[in-house]
Amino acid sequence: MSRLPLAPVPVTPALRILAVFLPSRHRDLFLGDLMEEYEHFIVPSLSPMRARLWFWQHAFRAAGHGIRQRIVNGVRWVGRIMGMGGPPAGRKDSGRSQMDILITDLRYAFRRLTRSPGFTAVAVLSLALGIGANSAIFSVVNALLIRRAPVEDVASLVEVYTQDSNGYPYATSSYPDYADLRDGNEIFSDVIGYNLFIAQSEREGEIGLTMGELVSGNYFEALGVHPSLGRTFSPEEDVTPGTHPVVVLGHAFWERAFGSDPAVLGRTIHLLQAPYTIVGVAPDGFNGMMPGIVPDMYVPIAMSDEVMRGFGQSRLERRGSRNLFLKARLLPGVTAEQADEFLGAFSTALGEEFPDTNEGRTMSAIATSDVSIHPLVDKALVPAATLLLVVVGLVLLIACANLASFLLARGADRRKEIAVRLAMGAKRRVLVRQLLTETLLLSVIGGIGGIALANWTVSLLMSFQPPIPIPINLDLSLDRTVLMFTIGISVAAGLVFGLLPALQSTNPDVAPTLRDEAGATTGSRQRWSLRNGLVIGQVALSFVLLIGAGLFLRSLQKAQTIDPGFDTTAAAIVWPNLEMSLVQEDEGRILQQEMVARVAALPGVTGVALVSRMPLGAGIQTTGALPEGVEPPAGRDNIDIDDTNVDAAYFALMGVPIVRGRNFDSGDVPESESVAIVSEAFVNTYWPGESGVGKTIENGRTTFRVVGVARDTKVRTLGEAPRPFLYRNANQLYSPSAYFVVRGTIPSPQLLVQTRASIKEVLPDVVFLQAQTMQEHLSLMLYLPRMAALLLAVFGGLALTLSGIGLYGLVSYSVARRTREVGIRMSLGAGRSEVTRMVVGGGMRLVAAGGLVGIVLAAAVTWLLARFLYGIGSMDVATFVVIPIILVGVALVAAYIPARRASRVNPVEALRSE
């Protein structure tokens, strides 16, 4: 009886890491041969445990060979750079001899480092902090902007966008436009459409919200994505709307919700109380087409109306309903530029055929390899990512300056040893190689510590989720790109910042150094000059980072004081969706009013209001409207205006006064004239110099009479100028997904609990999309400023700490070198305070020089931050006053500790010390 094989070994993260070290030319061939032998010969003939041991033994052996080969190649490369890598004349170079030399140097370096545990610990910690910060931020940048989805032939994929009514070129498309493009082109082999959805799901009695993707039937096939279990969608499942309720589970959801059960195929999962049959499981590592969002499942786009209840119906029929992201695969020989040209002509033809919905809209194509998330998002992310990488790069630079400073001091202490070895015939290149090996060993150990620190840091970063109902899940795993980046900066740090100290340490005046210390004096001055320069550079870079952190902290402080135009005091915000709860409009109106009455009657509640869109929320909601007497833009019959539906209680509850006209009242019913209230900016923009009351607004088939003008509020962002805003009457226009805003005399968290309970009493099966306090709601607008301030403050503090360590090390070394001088001064009558001032003064002169350089650098570069700041300029006076005080305070502490120790030296012992 043959034994069953174990779980497939090749998909484990450990093997992925090992594969990085395999020779790249033979990696795929080796893994294929190894797995074939494992599955067909080893598993049937050995016990499961012995088979697995055999597999990992051979995998590690191959990885070890790859590591050795890479080290040998690296040694040769370094040797060529330094002009010392060639073998003696007449002798062939061999990998074996170089490996022996390397091992000998590593053993020698390891012994040297273990003899100085204090030096080793500080150097490794400094490097680990710098490398860890860089690796952590690079992991995030890699996940957002560099890593591509695991699909076939990314080079032949393009993103297809449709220009929106405001002229923005990177908007989504409608399903009818997608179908016409899919069926009527000669340059794409496939066109796919997809969109996110959120719905209530139920499986085995457990109810919750599910995030998924609605996808076209050819989605998986066109992307070259093959299921790990079962199948994907068949062509007939994407033809007739609402007739094929099937799903493909996301791999992570399958593992989490079904325990990786292979018998999941054929079982059902309920979406909005309707059964859907599970037909497959997506492969591990494939997380859809929306970076940062991991779908729980994939549903055919033909099921849109069934899955998206509560977010609009007839999406497959309405050409004006633009909600699909499109991606297309080019035919061989077709370029993205040709596709863009074709789409221009294609969209022109659509505009002529469907002028009401498509006139003036242009479709375009951008190579998928040129888009990370979305052109608009990329435009904001790339500068922010660049800024963070520069910041952590400066932190690493400061850490490396510490390393170089430590190495210079260590080299000065070893000048006699090196002089003796040179006098006995040692080659300088051998000494440089040994010292450089020691530095590289330090940097590699620091890199290992940095990886551990980076893993902890990215976990911490991911815990700061933005306050939105959609969880953000970035794949921050240690892939080959991040691993190579970490190894690269570790080796570069060792080479660049270890080479100069190594060259300087091996260039003493041999004879004077052997006779006494005189010959070392000149060299010492040179070394001190370089060490002083390193400390000045550290202080200057720390100053720049602290100025940046201070500007963002001041910006956050200003953002928190911006008046949004509405009451931001404590409130509870609950977001139920009645349409997702399968409630029809007539019933929904009655239930909604009953819910309002039930919540208003709760003890401690002082007011309840309904609103279809909260100001300063995550979404943007506009409507096509035409104010009376206003001409629409060319090619348009209306203007896109931000809008919301509110009830009469909203304005008083939110503290938004009606400055002219009246509020909505009980006489405004669905059967009466449609009325609206507009913002002051609306009147100033479209009816300047007029009151606005009594004017009309055309909105599709409905004409609204303006009955009031409300004070302006912030709508989309805190930093925006007053924006035209349209308030429609929620009593006349039913909103099945309206927010309940509740204020009271009890704490907001308690209000949340009571409000949810009261709503569920009216409708037990109600679907809640979100429930949060007013402060949690507003935190979305402050999320990016807060994260920027937090990150820069952390990295600025880290830079300040490293600079303090560098200054402390310099002053401590100065004290050690000048012990005899201190003893002479004290024996001649100098007091402790005088010695302390002398030592501290030497350190603070360096700080002053670094601060001056830092001020110049900060003034030269902070203007780049102006676009990220709220309410302050890049030369904010308060920041440029407070930061130097902080820097001087830390520097004083770093210099005072060794200075105080120097002042307590016994003069007699100091004179005997040398």
For the cut 70, the answer to whether the pLDDT of residue 890 exceeds it is yes
The per-residue pLDDT for 310 is 53
Average pLDDT over residues 861-887: 86
Among 182-186, 417-421, 588-592, 659-663, where is mean pLDDT lowest?
417-421
CA 391 to CA 791: how far, in whole Å?
A: 9
Token look-up 């306050």 returns 467
Of 499, 319, 526, 509, give the one whose Cα is nearest residue 400. Answer: 499
CA 624 to CA 636: how far, in whole Å?
A: 10
Confidence of residue 388 (pLDDT cuts 50, 70, 90): confident
Which two three-digit tokens encode residue 399? 């850490």
The per-residue pLDDT for 519 is 40
The per-residue pLDDT for 387 is 84
Confidence of residue 743 (pLDDT cuts 50, 70, 90): very high
For the cut 90, the answer to whether the pLDDT of residue 20 exceeds it is no
More confident residue, 119 or 859: 859
CA separation, residue 8 to residues 31, 56, 228, 746, 824 (Å): 13, 12, 12, 56, 74
pTM above 0.75, yes or no: no
Contacts of 402 (CB under 8 A, 6+ apart): 122, 123, 126, 534, 538, 802, 805, 806, 809
Sign of CA dihedral 476, 481, 486, 489: negative
The per-residue pLDDT for 518 is 41
Among 23-32, 97-106, 466-475, 505-514, where is mean pLDDT lowest?
23-32
622-627 and 274-281 beta bridge pairing: unpaired
Q: How far apart are the first and last CA of the chain?
A: 81
Write the pLDDT tens digit of every residue in 586-612: 898 999 999 999 999 999 999 999 999
Write the pLDDT tens digit of every residue in 819-838: 666 666 776 666 777 777 88
The per-residue pLDDT for 237 is 87
The per-residue pLDDT for 66 is 66
Give the number of other CB atoms < 10 A from CB of residue 701. 5
Average pLDDT over residues 710-724: 91
Among 95-104, 272-281, 635-644, where is mean pLDDT lowest?
95-104
The per-residue pLDDT for 686 is 95
Is 221 buried (19+), middle (13-18) or exposed (0-12) by CB count in 10 A?
middle
Per DSSP, 787 falls in state H
Q: Is the separation of the CB atoms in 572 and 747 below 8 Å? A: no
CA 71 to CA 82: how far, in whole Å?
A: 16
The per-residue pLDDT for 96 is 45
More confident residue, 197 or 40: 197
More confident residue, 758 or 94: 758
Share of the chain above pLDDT 70, in %: 83
CA 227 to CA 546: how far, in whole Å?
A: 50
Average pLDDT over residues 520-544: 68
Share of the chain above pLDDT 90, in %: 29
Contacts of 366 (CB under 8 A, 6+ apart): 158, 159, 161, 336, 340, 375
More confident residue, 490 or 187: 187
Average pLDDT over residues 670-682: 94
Average pLDDT over residues 653-661: 95
Q: Is the separation of the CB atoms in 222 and 156 below 8 Å? A: no
CA 795 to CA 578: how far, in whole Å?
A: 46
More confident residue, 429 or 258: 258
Write the pLDDT tens digit of every residue in 147-172: 788 888 888 999 999 987 667 788 88
Q: Angle at the Cα of 40 (from 35 to 44), degrees rounded to 5? A: 120
The per-residue pLDDT for 534 is 81
The per-residue pLDDT for 215 is 93
**Listed ranges 250-259, 355-364, 469-478, 653-662; the one with the highest mean pLDDT:** 653-662
CA 649 to CA 632: how far, in whole Å?
A: 33
Confidence of residue 81 (pLDDT cuts 50, 70, 90): very low
The per-residue pLDDT for 142 is 85
Average pLDDT over residues 272-300: 89
Region class of 140: left (phi > 0), else alpha (psi between -120 and 50), else beta? alpha
For the cut 80, the answer to whether the pLDDT of residue 99 exceeds it is no
Average pLDDT, the chain: 81
The per-residue pLDDT for 731 is 92
For the cut 90, the answer to whether the pLDDT of residue 439 exceeds it is no
Of 214, 414, 446, 465, give the one whose Cα is nearest residue 325. Answer: 214
Confidence of residue 911 (pLDDT cuts 50, 70, 90): low
Q: What are phi and psi of 789, to 5 degrees?
A: -65, -40
Per DSSP, 238 falls in state G
